[in-house]
Amino acid sequence: MILDTQIQKALDCRADFPVLSATVYDKGYVYLDNGATTQKPRAVIDMMTDFYTQRYATVHRGVYLHSAEATADCDAVRTQVARFIGAAHDDEIVFTKGTTESINLVASTYGQHLLPAGKGILITAMEHHANLVPWQMLCAQKGIPFRVCPIDDNGTLDMATFATLMTPDIGVVAVTHVSNALGTINPVKEITRLAHAQGAKVLLDGAQAVGHTSVNVHDLDCDFYCFSGHKLYGPTGIGVLYGKRALLASMPPYQFGGDMIESVSFEKTTFAKPPARFEAGTPPIVETLGLGAAITYVQSIGFDFIASYETALLDLATAALKARFPEVRIIGESPKKASVLSFVFPEIHPHDVGSILDSEGIAVRVGHHCAQPVMKRYGVPATVRATFSFYNTPEDVVRLMDGLQTVKDLIL
Amino acid sequence: MRNIENLYQEMILEHNKNPRNFKTLSPCSHSSRGVNTLCGDDYMLTVQVDNGSITDIGFTGQGCAISKSSGSLMTSTIKGKSVEDAITLKDQFLGMLIADRPADDMGRLAVFANVKRFPVRVKCATLIWRALEDALVLANGSISTEGDS
């Protein structure tokens, strides 16, 4: 049930996103690929444009006004991110290019150098390739166990099997908070508790979670938490690695260069403390400020509204899809699910669905969603995926359903 | 105009619904598997060549309407042709979609010329032709057209 007041709030939010007012093929734009990347509100665009046009400068080393201000502003975003995810300390926030780099950073540093001898990695069958391949490569290289916790037919993690796989010879558990292909919200607090009981560290892939639900790393007690700015209504090229303070302090550098050193001579180089140790080179300054503006914007909408409204939209779309197209198979029907609707028609390939919906001004994702093992698990080559944001409306759901009818009329 | 009906033309839709030569030759003299991992398109092409001529040809598998109709029209067009003519036709077809070759002399295969206006779908139309090229010439056993556009 969606209230009129909720729809009004969604329409107000929608008006904050310039691209959503534009037309595609002379039709109103229905953007349902939020799982891949979210659109940007004017607040983010203005923040970045104003910085470029009025006060662009580098950070850390400038003695002049604009550089000192840029440094202070970027530091403030680090504080903002720490508060946003409930981290105790600013220096537990490392800025990266995105979730993928955050995970690779942990695999290359903690995984490569600090993983206790012989201990392996446990992931799940619903991981995005970004939280699968780095660990698979690490395990192959070190010759250590690589385990995958299975998922059931509706896309829920098999926690009974997880408990049996979570043995003392596992050093890192790497799990997605929310599945990008299925929408499943994993019991990450329970997973963390079970892993810690066996002495393992826990990395959570929060790429699909941070834009949809409030995250508190202190409450979850995870060791690492990774997410991207561009799925949180911010720019591309900026992401976050949260790591517990003592862990980050124990880890060797990921890349070498400027900004990450303490002192350099030809005889010896010493490295800066975290987070600088993991941020070699000039950082994505403008993107950092954009991320800050995005977090401010999202918090002004509020996760109470975002979570409840997106769930209501998902329920509406799921019910409409089942009612109008009973032949459709929904991939991922876990009871605890984020606003991801992944499905297949028995006789129509997802790419045909995607191309025809596009011609109707409706953007969805078709393909394997960087989760080929998930596709294999459900015996489909690809799916159509619609992902909903707080700026989508029931009208968008109607347009999607009408678009799918157009697909059927054309292809079948 | 870039209209969706330009992509899904009547002949393409009809061949998608009723693909010709949708079968596997066993035994066969030549074969190749065409796979586009990103799309999930996956076809097996089997060819029988006798005395330099394609005497029979079949394809099976799954994929979108563009790739399946392309398989149907490719197989029905080259069946009975010499290997040499089939290769020439393959070059002309790829030239039409990947380069700027005109479609005037392509007969009913010209129905795919409009796919060029939908760049992300070019690889769907070329998949079965690349598999043919592999089966008859390259003999790698499998191919992908993810770079075609």
Q: Give the 3-state secondary structure percentages of chain B, helix then strand then coil, rounded to 5.
A: 50, 20, 30
DSSP A340-391: EEEEE-SSS-HHHHHHHHHHTTEE-EEE-TT-HHHHHHTT-S-EEEEE--TT
Give tens-digit pLDDT for A136-172: 999 999 999 999 999 999 999 999 999 999 999 999 9
Q: Which of A13, A139, A226, A370 is catalytic?
A: A370
Distance from C-alpha of A73 to C-alpha of A22, rounded to nearest angstrom: 32
Chain segment A335-378, per-residue pLDDT in tens: 999 999 999 999 999 999 999 999 999 999 999 888 999 999 99
**For residue A356, which of B13, B105, B45, B48 has the smallest C-alpha distance?**
B13
Do the Cβ atoms of B62 and A350 come within 8 Å?
no
- State the fold for domain A46-299: Aspartate Aminotransferase; domain 2 (3.40.640)
Q: Give contacts of A380 with chain B, Cβ < 8 Å.
A: 40
**Token pair recorded at residue A20:** 């959503």
Helix, strand, coil fractions of chain A, as percent rounded to 5: 45, 15, 40
What residues pair up with B44 in beta bridges, in sequence order? B33, B60
Angstrom distance (rounded) from CA A341 to CA B117: 29
Distance from CA of B96 to the nearest CA of A (A): 21
Q: Where are the domains of chain A?
A: 4-31+302-411, 46-299
Query: What whole-number distance in Å separates Cα of residue A214 and Cα of residue A217?
Result: 10
Output the pLDDT for position A269: 92
Q: B65, A372: Cβ pair inside 8 Å?
A: no
Q: Which residues on chain B are in Cβ contact (under 8 Å) with A377?
A: none
Return the H-helix or E-strand segment holding A409.
helix A394-411
pLDDT above 70 coverage of chain A, percent = 100
Other CB atoms within a 10 A radius of the CB of residue A281 amount to 11
Six-digit token pair at A30? 């229905």
CB A126 within 8 A of CB A185: no
Write the ipTM.
0.90
Which of A351, A356, A407 is best to mutate for the B interface (most B CBs within 10 A)? A351
pLDDT tens per residue, range A188-226:
999 999 999 999 999 999 999 999 999 999 999 999 999
pTM as predicted: 0.94
Amino acid at position A62, single letter? G
Domain range list for chain B: 4-138
B59 CA to chain A: closest CA distance, Å?
A: 17
Domain A4-31+302-411 has CATH 3.40.190.10: no
Q: Looking at residue B21, what is its pLDDT?
A: 98
CB contact under 8 A, B65 and A352: yes
DSSP string, A288-337: HHHHHHHHHHHHHH-HHHHHHHHHHHHHHHHHHHHHH-TT-EES---SSB
Q: What mean pLDDT is predicted for residues B122-147?
A: 90
Instruction: Please report where in the chains the tokens 């976050």 appear, as a residue.
Output: A240
CB neighbours (10 Å) of residue A375? Answer: 20
Q: Which of B90, B56, B105, B95 is nearest to B76 (CA)?
A: B56
Going by C-alpha positions, the residue among B28, B23, B144 that lies closest to residue B75 is B23
User: Residue B66: its chain A contacts at CB < 8 A?
Assistant: 351-352
Interface test with A, best of B64, B70, B115, B124 (most A CBs within 10 A): B64
Tell me whether residue A370 is one of the annotated catalytic residues: yes
Residue of A60, A46, A76 lying closest to A279 (CA atoms): A60
Q: Which fold has domain B4-138?
A: Sufe protein. Chain: A (3.90.1010)
Q: Quick one: average pLDDT of A269-288? A: 96
Show residues of chain A in contact with B121, CB under 8 Å.
Answer: 351, 355
